[in-house]
Amino acid sequence: MSANTISINSQMSHFDSHDSVWLFGYGSIIFKADFPFLERRPAHINGWARRFWQGSHDHRGTVEAPGRVVTLVPQEGAVCAGMAYLITPEVFAHLDHREKNGYLRLVTEIHFGEAEKAEGLIYIASEENTAFAGPASELDIARQIARAAGPSGRNSEYLLLLAQALRELGSDDAHVFEIEKHLLQLEREAAAR
């Protein structure tokens, strides 16, 4: 599958008759909502784990030196914390462009606290897209992130802002925080040279 998913996502009609839809953000959408929304609430989804396994050729890296950003992978028993935004369908075109590098729209159940839930929308980059970077050790991921930058800024900024946003949500994400720890150590070592 091509990394550019705009045309595929524009064909999704599941929410066409809705006046508003919940969007679940688990990466940069948590800390960078560059779209209009009606409401914003902490939320989580079940059965998915956040991983820095998606290559970024268009935002936090380049084709020659891709960065790494998060996607979700299925994992039994996992709970992924994030931020949900109530949006109108008019926002889809903007989101499809923002998430065009391999992310597909999927329908998911979004949970607000213990009892409340709603059907919503999520963007996930699977291993079928050509930008998928795949698994690597947290140290190797940190090394790649430390070197990468793109039109949206340094890849390290993305990681650090995501880690900060997860702490503010009270979410303990061992994968993200381990990469952050390695990145900060790499930056200290580079500064000492």
Q: Is 114 exposed, middle or buried (0-12, 13-18, 19+ CB in 10 A)?
A: exposed
CA distance 118 to 131: 30
What's the pTM value of the predicted model, to 2 decimals? 0.91
Active site residue 64: no
User: Hey, is 121 helix, strand or coil?
Assistant: strand
Residue 114 is classified by DSSP as T
41-54 mean pLDDT: 97
CA distance 182 to 16: 43
- What residues pair up with 33 in beta bridges, in sequence order? none
Q: What is the pLDDT of residue 18?
A: 73
Closest CA to 55 of 98, 102, 94, 8: 102
| Cα dihedral sign, 151-156-159-163 | negative
Residue 37 has pLDDT above 70, yes or no: yes
Tell me which of 64, 99, 114, 187 is the catalytic residue. 99
- Confidence band, pLDDT 50/70/90 cuts, at residue 154: very high
Closest CA to 93 of 32, 35, 41: 35
| Cα dihedral sign, 60-72-109-115 | negative
**Higher pLDDT pick, 113 / 20:** 20
Q: What is the pLDDT of residue 96?
A: 86
First-to-last CA distance in the chain?
A: 43
Q: What is the pLDDT of residue 5?
A: 64
Taking phi first (over 0 means left), then psi (-120 to 50 degrees means alpha), and beta for anything else, what does residue 152 get? Answer: alpha
Question: In the chain, what are the domains?
Answer: 5-188 (3.10.490.10)
Is the distance from CB of 100 to CB of 72 less than 8 angstroms? Answer: no
